[in-house]
A and B are shown apart, each in its own frame.
Chain A
Amino acid sequence: MRIGLLTEGGYPYVDGEARLWCDRLVRGLGQHEFDVYALSRSERQEARGWVELPAQVRRVRSASLWGAGGGLGLGRRVRRRFVECFGELAGVVCAGADDSGQLADRFGSALYGLAELARESGGLIGALRSEAAVRALESACRAPGAPRAVRAARVPDLLAVAAELERVLRPLSLDWYGDDELGAVDLCHATAGGGAALPGLLAKHFAGVPLLVTEYGVQLRAHYLAGAGAGAGSAGVLGAGAAGAAGAGSGAAGSGARAGGEPGLGAPARALLAAFHGRLATEVYGRATVITPGNAHARRWQERCGADRAKLRTVYPGLPAGRFGEVGEREDAGEPQTLIWVGRVEPAKDLISLLHAFAEVRKEEPKARLRIAGALAEGPEEAAYLDHCRALAAQLFPDEADGAHAVGDNPVSFEEIGGPEVPDLPDAYAAGGVVVLSSVVEGFPISVIEAMLCGRATVSTDVGAVVEVIGGTGLVVPPRNPRALAQACVALLRDPERRARLGAAARARALELFTVEQNIAAFNGIYLEIVSHCPVRREALNEAGEPVPFAHPAEAYVPGRWAARGGTGAGGGESGVSGLSGAGGVSDVPASTATPAPAPSWAAAARQQGGKRPGLGLGLREALS
């Protein structure tokens, strides 16, 4: 099977986002061929080169989303069509919120109109930067019914929006959609939403290639955060009252600014761009065959942006479990009186709260120790925070010794992973009996998963995807509540049997859900399902390049249920399962009411897309060939 892997600022580049995951995916699925279509974000990224590619990557095509790009002059007829299509696009973007599907349809038709125009005329980069585009934007902003924020747009806003649209829509001008390129793959797998999925949308439009979208972080949300970060770091000033909140804000803003690097845009420009990215996300979710969010949080955003629940399937990211296996299977449960904290020391982790909690723990359990194993601090802010934490620890806990003649030390130790005490990450977890997470802001908590893989009981704050990950195999307390954290820690420190039970359950859960193998297996299954149920319809050719008559069985073209009518026909889940076995799933239930949980509910989704009922037998044969 041939898979087109679509990335933006990602996989083959050395400093790309999510490159580790993509690399594991590609290496783990050696039975498939991969064509990588990469968009690079900056000159620096392109200059740093690619990672080493395995043999199953047959081809890498790359294009840049930065720099000037060549513009061609367009003929008068083409220019008129461009103005029509772009005006339509701008009109949809400026139309404000509207939940009816009409605007989404108009957006799609304008987008594909532009794509067809770009294909015929050989590129729209120049046209998207031209005065005609800016003028179309202006008239759309001044149109009656435009939101107030958009009506206030001034010339710099229009120019900024036009430049950003040109950048995002650059995939339209690429020559990737020919019959021997994206048109030839069996499946497009976009490793992010938004701009990365745009080539997939076009491949679907031009060649009918099914699209799979994987989002570990929702692009739309990242866009908002990047915009907030660029706005003179105002988010960082917000929660100056609460230390934790302030740190969290500046941390998020910092990452956004690093990613964006864009001078602060005016409110009208941000409103326009937000509307555009929202529409694009809706279009991507609408056209995708299957969407795989990385956790429930991403899933919620996707549902919010109009993704059909029937298409959503959560595929958790996987960690290489091998390096933690030795620690996890060891009988030794670590030092019973030691709490472990592992992670990068930064304000969002709220170590202050952890230290206060530990002070409470010491009141109950005077023998307890806390080891903070951190990665090297990156910036000056993180370094200052680490110093602050050290100072607080020294104030709260005086050095203590066993007897009058021994040299004492502090019950709280700050260690660096890779240093003499903690040579490796598993050693950090192995050292203690209980692993603590005290963050106030967290995405997908990797340190918790690592602790679970090591078979350690955990106490975590209820942030991000922590509850989803822990799932009852550890204790969860509210964030910014040192006393609750302390009580949970004491409860675990005093009960070795419970600790062992929780640790074993955690390891079992992590091995089942959060390993690289499950991630790869899940994607392999999704690939096979998509290809078997939404195969690309290509005309079969013989050796001479002539079409072969009757190459596809006639049933393949018959819409609706052509296989034996299934007797079950009850819920989305059941119909999906019967579809898998080749019996032709039947569901009389509307697709929108299908429950999100059962994985094979794609059957309903496939039926929604124009009532096409793919030939199952043929698809499976193609999939396995």
Chain B
Amino acid sequence: MTARPERSVDVPRAPEGAEGWDARSEGLVTGAEVGGAPAEAATSRRTTEAASERTPTAASGRTSTATSGHTPAAASECTSTTTPRRGPADPVKALMHRHRDLCERAVDPLEIAAGLEAHGVTDRTAARFRHRDVFALAEEMYARAPQDSAEWDALADATGDVRGETGAQVPRGWAVLALLPGATCALAVAGLGPIGGLGPAAGHARLAVALGGALAVAAAGWAALRYGPLRAARPAGRLTRAWVCWLLAYALLGDGLLRAALAGGPDDLVGPDGLIAANGPAAPSAAAALVLAGAVAPALWCARLFAVRAGGRLGASRGLAEFAASVRPLLIAVFALYACAVGALLIGVGALPVPGPDAALTLTGAGALAALLWLGRMLRTHGSRRAPALVYATVGAAQVAAVALVFAGRLPGCGFLAAPVERLAEAGGTGAVAALACAAGTVVLLVRAIRVLGRASAHATAHDLGGTSAPGSGGTSAHATPGGAR
């Protein structure tokens, strides 16, 4: 037992010779003499076992030397010559078994050292394991801990699942909340229906119902957007809000206004009862209102569908490119779903007898606007504010320009200004202006959304900003209480 195969030359070692340097080595020496062959065989087996012991410290060298002597033969000799020693043959292995979760989780030796210290292991404890300090002990444990890449993959998979589940947190009941604007609007329109006839009384009642309905729909829409899955990451700018209001107003009123303007009006804005005429040019289109309010529900559902699916793909993806490649088709599919839902809504509303101007293209314009607003909101939910603001402004400006051109055409010698709008209205009706503008904006936003929402960082923004606070790094550890804070 004087020459050991696994020892290198320059490792500091305990004294060699006939006598041992402590009780256990005494047993080792005698054990080797008695049962030399099995001990030697066991030593070579241990050497292969301990191939992963990368710890370069002298202490670990001593550990393996000392513990390798505890073969059955040596151990029996040990018990016969010295007092029986409590504990297993490889104390570090026992320690690793006790802290196996810590060892498996650890990403570097310092993490094991911190965990060991939190469990009361000190340098003096480490000395029992023949290590200089806790750090050296932790290094040995880290080197010996079983870590293979399959495990890393499993870990990564597990976190992916967690991530997918907690993808986006929305309050309960949002799905019902989403139906509220449409339902309110339908009620208001239904309430307008029975109030027929002329006269100031009926006019006042109609006005009251319309105003109340509009307020209720606005409140319901605000609540649904604020608390649903389409919650914006950051509040919109004032200008953006103004443009959205304009777009909505134009969808409701613009068609009639443009038609009246083209016909030389607008006349008869005010009916004989001193109020807005029921079927006059300034009367809002109830059908468009129904479409827009009703589209809130599929908007929220589709947004939620997209968030959940994208969260799942986020966890399942290995790389950013893979994620982008999987989430872009998803976005297109969800948008198509939303477009289908809005289309069904258009057909349904078109079949209803509702007051107000309801040319087919007016409704189409409202549908295109719904798609435009959904895409813009999706972008804002995922942290992108500039593109929606720009597109809203452009579409709104186009509508303003259309109306303004018609009026400018009345100036002497400027008739050519109104020509394009007139030609467009002749070809497809007055609703074509809004429908074209919104559709063009929708296409632009869709392209932008495919680009932006394919980025993983967009989804991180959505997740992290949904939470209340960022995590703190430091902990109130046992060592962090100076000054007698008790």
A residues engaging B (CB < 8 A)? 8-9, 17-21, 24, 41-44, 65-68, 73, 97, 129-131, 133-135, 138, 142, 148-149, 152-159, 162-164, 167-168, 192, 194-195, 216-229, 231, 234-235, 237-239, 241, 244-245, 248-249, 252-253, 255-256, 258-271, 274-275, 277-278, 294-295, 297-298, 300, 304, 317-320, 344, 348, 375, 440-444, 446, 449-450, 462-464, 478-479
Contacts and interface: CB of A to CB of B under 8 A. Distances in A.
Interface of B: 98-102, 105, 107-108, 110-111, 114-115, 117-120, 122, 124, 133, 135, 147, 149, 152-153, 155-156, 158-160, 162-163, 166, 233-234, 314-315, 317-320, 323, 386, 455-461, 463-465, 468-486
A225 B105 contact: no
Nearest to A257: B475
Nearest to A214: B482
B474 A264 contact: no
21 contacts: A9-B474, A20-B482, A134-B457, A138-B320, A154-B160, A154-B315, A155-B318, A155-B320, A158-B320, A164-B473, A168-B473, A221-B114, A224-B111, A234-B102, A244-B120, A248-B118, A266-B156, A267-B155, A294-B479, A295-B479, A297-B479
B479 A129 contact: no
A216 B159 contact: no
A20 B482 CA distance: 8
A217 B470 contact: no
Given A222-B477, A443-B478, A267 B152 contact: yes
A260 B471 contact: yes
Contacts of B476: 17, 255, 258-259
Given A228-B114, A462-B122, A21 B102 contact: no
Contacts of A41: 469, 472, 474
B480 to A, nearest CB: 3
B118 A65 contact: no
Contacts of B234: 68
Contacts of A298: 479
A157 B156 contact: yes
Given A65-B470, A277-B473, A295-B479, A263 B166 contact: yes
Nearest to A439: B120
Closest 5 CB pairs of A and B: A217-B480, A317-B482, A21-B483, A443-B478, A259-B475
Given A17-B476, A18-B481, 19 more contacts: A17-B474, A19-B485, A44-B469, A65-B472, A68-B465, A134-B457, A135-B320, A154-B159, A168-B473, A216-B481, A234-B105, A238-B99, A249-B119, A259-B474, A320-B484, A443-B478, A446-B481, A463-B122, A464-B479
A156 B159 contact: yes
B315 A156 contact: yes
B475 A167 contact: no
B483 A20 contact: yes
A125 to B, nearest CB: 12
A237 B473 contact: no
Contacts of A168: 473
B152 A152 contact: yes
A229 B472 CA distance: 13
Contacts of B464: 163
Contact of B456 (A21, A134, A231, A304): A134
B474 to A, nearest CB: 5
A157 B120 contact: no
A164 B479 CA distance: 24
Of listed B107, B456, B458, residue having the most chain A CB within 10 A: B107
B152 A440 contact: no
Contacts of A20: 482-485
Nearest to B386: A73
A107 B104 CA distance: 29
A189 to B, nearest CB: 14
DSSP class of B's interface residues: helix, strand, loop or mixed?
helix
Contacts of A261: 469, 471-472
Given A224-B111, A228-B115, A149 B479 contact: no
B325 to A, nearest CB: 12
Nearest to B482: A317
B475 A67 contact: no
B323 A219 contact: no
Contacts of A446: 481, 484, 486
A129 B110 contact: no
A220 B233 contact: no
A217 B155 contact: no
Most buried by A among B115, B234, B477, B486: B477
Contacts of B482: 18, 20-21, 216, 294, 317, 444
Nearest to B483: A21
A327 to B, nearest CB: 16
Contacts of B120: 244-245, 248, 348, 440-441, 463, 479
Contacts of B160: 154, 156
B111 to A, nearest CB: 5
Contacts of A239: 98-99, 119
Contacts of B110: 220-221, 224, 274, 278, 304
A295 B479 CA distance: 9
Given A227-B111, A228-B115, A265-B159, A443 B474 contact: no
A156 B314 contact: yes
A228 B117 CA distance: 13
B164 to A, nearest CB: 9
Given A68-B465, A295-B479, A228 B149 contact: no
A217 B477 contact: yes
A344 B114 CA distance: 23
B200 to A, nearest CB: 53
A194 B472 CA distance: 12
Contacts of A265: 159
A148 B149 contact: yes
Nearest to A196: B474
B380 to A, nearest CB: 13
A443 B108 contact: no
A248 B470 contact: no
Contacts of A295: 479
A304 B108 CA distance: 13
A129 B320 contact: no
B119 A238 contact: yes
A157 B124 CA distance: 37
Contacts of B486: 344, 375, 446
B469 A43 contact: yes
Contacts of B386: 73
Contacts of B481: 18, 216-217, 443-444, 446
Given A300-B133, A375-B486, A148 B460 contact: no
A578 to B, nearest CB: 33
A263 B467 CA distance: 11
A559 B163 CA distance: 57
A18 B485 contact: yes
A142 B318 CA distance: 11
A349 to B, nearest CB: 11
B156 A443 contact: no
Given A131-B455, A304-B135, A318-B483, A228 B105 contact: yes
Contacts of A271: 107-108
A131 to B, nearest CB: 4
A167 B470 CA distance: 7
A116 B313 CA distance: 37
Contact of B124 (A21, A268, A462): A462
A460 to B, nearest CB: 13
A449 to B, nearest CB: 8
Nearest to A133: B457
Contacts of A133: 457
A263 B459 contact: no
B54 to A, nearest CB: 12
B111 A228 contact: yes
B457 A9 contact: no
Nearest to A141: B319
Contacts of B100: 238
B465 A138 contact: no
A24 to B, nearest CB: 6
